[in-house]
Structure 1
Amino acid sequence: MLRSLSIGNRIIAMIFIMVLFIGGTCAAFLYCLETVREFSVNETDTVMFEGQKDKLKVATDSMAATLGSVLNNIPDPAERNGELQRMIADFRYEKDGSGYYFVTEGTVMIAHIKTSLLGKDLDGLKDKNGVHMIRELAKAAEGGGGFVRYIWPKPEAGDQPKLSYSTMIPGTGYAIGTGVYIDNIQKSESRISAAIGTIVRDNTVRILAVLAVLLAGVLVLSLFIGRSITRPLQGATQAAHAIADGDYAVQLDSSGRDEASQLLGALDSMAATLRDNMEVIAARTREAGEKAEAAEEAMTEAERARAEADVARKQGIRQAAERIHAVVERVYDASSQIASQADIIDRGTAIQRARVQSTATAMEEMNATVLEVAENASAASVTGAEARKLAVLGSESVSRSVEAMNTTYGAAEDLKRGMNRLGDQAEGIGKVMEVITDIADQTNLLALNAAIEAARAGEAGRGFAVVADEVRKLAEKTMQATHEVGESISSIQAVAQQNIGSMEKALSDLGEAVDLSHKSGDVLLDIVKGAEDSAGQIQGIATAAEEQSSTSEEINRAIEEINAISAETTQSVAESSEALAELAVQMKNLQEVLDGLLQDAES
């Protein structure tokens, strides 16, 4: 079917297919970008949610350990409840201050920022979805710690989904819990999604602009290359038809180094050779015609002489015979010259046929070479397409790796900020413990002063001395417990600083990995572009080679026609040679007759 189309139409069809291919590639690329964006948002949501869970667990476990150390030195339940309420009443976290702690004993609220809930059994409290949050949190704490999701009112925002974590305070029957509102996570997710969407949209516009410029350049270059292929082939085809019609005066422009220029040069040389050979043949033919006319005149003269000899045989037999003998010699000479010219014409025709045959052989070899080039170009086009597919797959894998690394990088930064906040909270607890230590020191001093005053009072101050001694012991226990809590807080701060350092190093390594992945993606995009350009050029070469092969076949047919004409010329020359040979035989017979006449005349 393609052989029925011209090369120009084939090139236009090839350009149209290339445009469709690039358009399909762009559509697939945009679809992949949108898929990657959705995947990134989903992964960000998952990572942020898991990060919030880790933050809640670490903060709650740390607070539980601190409260456990404090409560171990307070045996009275009422004092414990009061100390718990005092320690968590003003403690807040999250930017909007919506994060706080609460303490329960079973399902009874012991400490909470809402004092109206203190001392109440909240076992029957449930949200609008029917979740008994206090009951579920108590079960999670008794099971070693766990999470519960439920709906809870948020100041200035109404009912919002909330994620809470609860665990037991070591050494007590109390459970401490805290939670964060999920809408805070969703707001962060929305900001990240909007940022990713902006990046994807900007990069998409840039890529489409670059592709449009490249496509315009490729179209102009393809049209220019197609014109450089079709114009020489059209000239070669017209020249071949002109030569086949007998016009050997064609002039072809063979400047250039491509196959089409070589073909035009070969046609030009062939036309010049045929023109020279035909001029030689025409000259030899005219000369042979002149010789034939001379021979015909000689034959006429011989016939006339023979008639005169018959009329006046007795009067001038010898004279007529001599004249006929002279004519025969002239005929012999003319026949020899004609035979020589015919031989020259035959040799020229043979040379012409040999050159035409050589040209036909060269055209067949060039046609075979062109077909081989077309096959190799088609194979190279297939290989280039496979390389482009592999490069596109590699580019997509690198893009996914970059997005995953960016997501991990953001999660690591959030975790680092959480660790910093944990360190700050530990420092705040340390300051509280310093205040407690100062109070214990003052209490100890007051107990000592009271004991001294009781000793001065004698028997009347003995009971007061016992109370002062108990107060002093309690102050010493408080100082010891405060010292232990301070050591625990120092350990937490040291571990937090170590985790922050490790997180900063991980962030640095992730940043380098993201940069390297970006560079790999750019290199693979360049490979994709180079593979697409090479595939298009190779396909163009293959198509041009097929059309050039078709043109070569037409030229071969024209050469075969010229060869047939040369064969006919050779046959005509051979027939002329046979006629001359027959004329020579007749001249010999005439010579014998003349010899007989001379003998008769002498006798």
Structure 2
Amino acid sequence: MKTMTIKQRILLLTILPLVFAISTIMFLIHSELSALGDEQVQDIRSSMMKEKRVILENYVDIAITSVQGVVASGSFDDPVIKAQVARQLRDILFGAKKDGYMFVYDYDGINIVMGPKPELEGKNLYALKDSDGVNVIKELISSAKDGGGFLQYSWNKPSKNANAPKLGFVRGIEQYKWMVGTGFYIDDIDDAVTLARLEIDKRIQRAMMLIAVVGLVLIVLVGFISLFVTVRITKPIQDTVLALNNISHGEGDLTKRLTVYANDEVGQVSISFNQFVEKIHNLVLEIKSSVGDLSRSTQQMNLVVISTNENVVKQKDETMHAASAVHEMAATAEDVAGNASRAAEAAQQADTETASGQIIVEDTIVSISQLSEDVNRATDVINQLSDDAEQIGDVINVIKGIADQTNLLALNAAIEAARAGELGRGFSVVADEVRTLANRTQKSTEEINHMIELLLGRVKEAVGVMNNSSTQGKNTVAQAQKASDSLKTIMVAVSTITNMNTQIATAAEEQTVVTDEISKNVQQVADIAEDSSTKALELEKTSAELIALENRLAAVVNQFKV
């Protein structure tokens, strides 16, 4: 059954019950006709037997009636009258061949009349039995005494020279105590019944043959109808199978639809299949459209990743340059601190010399000249310090520009990472850290710039004071008499210079600390830039894998015809 097709199963389920039904009907009809035939044969037998019985009874009644006048005319014991009655009964013959006769027995079983066998007359046959063991004479006498009756027995039939079934009827003549009767051989009834049975069997056979032919025609007709219906049923199913095979193994054509032949279960299957294919068709269209959008987004993201990678590399290079500049600025700050320390020592020495000058006036001119030279040198140093401070300001501006550019690049990187979604999440965190460090660097450079501006202001003041000191030193040479007052002025100026040099040294030391912090921050920025470069390369690799995945998805979608 598992290997049979639906068509074979439907034909089998249609024809087998029909064959079984026709066979059952034929069996039932045959049984019923046979039963009816048996009843008809039995009716024929009964009818013929009834007819025989009526004839026999009529013959006996006619015979007795014919002798009733003679019997009534004389004495019951008159032998002449008995002889006349016997003779009259012996002369009664009937049948087409006149082979029918009357037989007479007295109640003792002595034969009085025996038509074709007169030699039996006078003999006592009371104990006579037929071939079946029936005591014929005794039973007939008993029936006569009871008012008459029938008896079936076997008796020799001359035409056959053999025993044959015979039906006898007797009545009694009570005046003489005689039993008068006659009989028919009834084997002709069996022959007639046999012929009737054969005729009925022939009719039953013809009827069964007709039913078989009609059943065969009905089976063929139902087979053709079933085949037609089966084709109508299996055709949509075959179309569905072909469509599914085309989708799974063929061209993947999703534009084809099944023809709905009827609104039955198979038609509903076709409708559901068409709806399913329509849904798959729309889904493939959406996937194809999404693949196109994904391809464009992937290409755009790849360009962004490449650009970001280039910017990260550029940021890395600029950060390295900034780190070098910060290191140079730190070295310059150390030089400034050294010069400031030496200037403070010189100012202290000048103060000592000024105090000595008050004691030794005669050495005032020499000391003041030396002081003037020292002041000139200090002026040069301070001017150099001013130039260095301005250079530090330029470096700070460069660092500030780098921090601004780093902040802008980090902001762009965060935006692009946000566009990249989950894949750019890690890169977005790195970009935020870079932007935070850039803001801190920018803030530190602004503080350093402010300090340098203060330093430049103090340096300018120191330059002015030193210039005044130089002028006063020159005037002191000419105005030695005013040495005491000038020395006091110089002491005040030198004290001021000492304080300023101390402030310059302190500012330079603070600048060194800040520069070291900036150097560390710049190094962190460089490390972050290095990590960002690595992440950018990974993102570029992921973008390439995403493009390959998009290409495979597009290849799968292109297998279907939409």
TM superposition score normalised by structure 1:
0.49
Give the corresponding residue for 1:182: 186
- Conserved? CA contact 2:26–2:211, under 8 Å: no
In the alignment, does 2:20 pair up with 1:21?
Answer: yes
> Does 2:311 align with 1:305?
yes
Task: Please name the residue that 2:144 is paired with.
Answer: 141
**C-alpha displacement at 1:248, in angstroms?**
5.8
Is residue 43 from structure 1 mapped to residue 42 from structure 2 by the alignment? yes
Alpha-carbon shift at residue 58 of structure 1 (Å) = 4.0
2:402 corresponding residue in structure 1: 317
Aligned to 1:72: 72
Q: Which residue of 2 aligns with 1:279?
A: 285
Alpha-carbon shift at residue 145 of structure 1 (Å): 3.8
Q: Is the 8 A contact 2:171 2:179 kept in 1?
A: yes
2:260 aligned with 1:254: yes
Q: Does the residue aligned with 1:257 lie in a helix, a strand or coil?
A: coil
Deviates more, 1:74-83 or 1:114-123: 114-123
Partner of 2:211: 207
- The within-5 A match list for 1:149-164 is 149-154=153-158, 158-159=161-162, 160-164=164-168
What is the rounded CA distance, in whole Å, between the counterparts of 2:141 and 2:122 in structure 1?
14
Matches of 2:127 and 2:309 in 1, distance apart?
Answer: 150
Name the counterpart of 1:398.
none
In structure 2, do the counterparts of structure 1 residues 68 and 171 end up closer, same or farther at CA, with 3 Å as the change threshold? farther
Q: 1:230 aligns with which of 222, 230, 234?
A: 234
Quick one: structure 1 residues 212 and 303, their matched pair in 2 at CA, closer, same or farther if it must change by over 3 Å?
A: closer
The alpha carbon displacement at 1:320 in A equals 3.8
Gaps of 5+ in 2: 323-397, 450-562
Q: Distance in 1 between matches of 2:288 and 2:429?
A: 28
Task: Provide the rounded CA distance (Å) in 2 between the counterparts of 1:214 and 1:226.
Answer: 17
Q: Structure 1: any 5+ residue segments left out of the alignment?
A: 336-576
CA contact (8 A) 2:173 2:179 kept: yes
Choose the corresponding residue for 1:219, options 194, 217, 223: 223
Aligned-residue offset at 1:176: 0.9
Matches within 5 A, 1:437-452: none
> Which residue of the partner structure matches residue 502 of structure 2?
none
CA distance in 2: counterparts of 1:12 and 1:234, whole angstroms: 17
Contact 2:26 2:212 in 1 (8 A): no
Paired residue type of 1:578: E
Deviations along 1:161-182, one digit per CA (max 9) or x if unpaired, are: 3221222124332211011111
Match of 1:578 among 422, 425, 428: 422
Q: Which amino acid aligns with 1:189?
A: V
Aligned residue number for residue 439 of structure 1: none
SS at match of 2:226: helix
In the alignment, the residues of structure 1 paired with residue 86 and residue 432 of structure 2 have an alpha-carbon distance, to the nearest angstrom, of: 153
Task: Judge conservation of contact 1:255–1:261 (CA < 8 Å) in 2.
Answer: yes
Are residue 89 (structure 1) and residue 91 (structure 2) matched? yes
1:365-376 mapped onto 2 (5 Å cutoff) = none
Q: How does 1:548-563 map to 2 (within 5 A)?
A: none
Q: Deviation of residue 8 (structure 1)?
A: 3.6
| CA drift at 1:215 | 0.9
Q: In the alignment, which residue of structure 2 is the partner of 1:266?
A: 272
Equivalent positions of 1:50-65 (< 5 A) are 51=50, 54-55=53-54, 58-59=57-58, 62-63=61-62
The answer to whether the 8 Å contact 2:130/2:153 transfers is: no
Contact kept in structure 2, 1:166 and 1:177, CA below 8 Å: yes
Q: Matched residue of 1:72: which SS?
A: helix
Query: What residue is the counterpart of 1:165 in the other structure?
Result: 169
Change (3 A) 1:175 1:326: same
Contact 1:85–1:110 (Cα < 8 Å) also in 2 = no
| Displacement of 1:57 | 6.6
8 Å contact from structure 1 (residues 166, 175) kept in 2: yes
Contact 1:92 1:99 survives alignment (8 Å): yes
Change (3 A) 1:328 1:190: same
Shift of the alpha carbon at 1:300? 2.5
Separation of aligned partners in 2, 1:580 and 1:270? 38
Change (3 A) 1:55 1:589: farther
Deviations 1:92-127 (A, max 9, x none): 25x665544333334444456549469543638968
**CA distance in structure 1 between the aligned counterparts of 2:445 and 2:413, rounded to whole angstroms:** 18
Q: Between Structure 1 and Structure 2, whose CA radius of gyration is higher?
A: 2
Distance change in 2, residues 1:143/1:33 (3 Å)? same
Matches within 5 A, 1:507-586: 578-579=422-423, 581-582=425-426, 584-586=428-430
Q: Which amino acid aligns with 1:102?
A: F
Q: Which has the higher contact order (CA 8 A, sep 6+)?
A: 1
Calculate the TM-score normalised by the size of structure 2: 0.53
Confirm or deny: 8 A CA contact 1:56 1:178 kept in the other structure: no
For 1:216, the aligned partner's letter is V
Summarize the Cα distance change of 1:127–1:35 in structure 2 as closer, same or farther, 3 Å threshold: same
- Rounded to whole Å, the distance in 2 between the matches of 1:584 and 1:61 is 140
Q: Distance in 1 between matches of 2:253 and 2:423?
A: 31
Post-superposition CA distance 1:555-588 (Å, at most 9, x none):
xxxxxxxxxxxxxxxxxxxxxx532555554554
* Per-residue Cα deviation, 1:9-43 (whole angstroms, up to 9, x for no partner): 43354457447635753673476267437734763
* Alpha-carbon distance between aligned partners in 1 of 2:287 and 2:437, rounded to the nearest angstrom: 37
Question: Alpha carbons of 1:308 and 1:282: their partners in 2 closer, same or farther (altered >3 Å)?
Answer: same
Counterpart CA distance in 1 for 2:425 and 2:98 is 129
Q: Residues 596 and 66 (structure 1 numbering): CA distance in 2 closer, same or farther, change over 3 Å? A: farther
Q: Any conservation in 2 of the 1:294–1:334 contact (CA below 8 Å)?
A: no
Inter-partner Cα distance in structure 2 for 1:236 and 1:113: 97
The CA distance in 2 between the partners of 1:98 and 1:199, in whole Å, is 36
- Is the deviation greater in 278-287 or in 213-222? 278-287
Identity of aligned residues (%): 17
CA distance, structure 2, for counterparts of residue 57 and residue 187 of structure 1: 20
Cα distance in 2 for residues equivalent to 1:297 and 1:594: 25
The correspondence of residues 345-360 of structure 1 with structure 2, limited to 5 A, is none
| Partner SS state of residue 94, structure 2 | coil
Q: Distance in 1 between matches of 2:141 and 2:91?
A: 20
Spell out, residue by residue over 1:166-204, the C-alpha distance to the aligned partner (whole angstroms, 9 max, x if none): 221243322110111112212321332233123212211
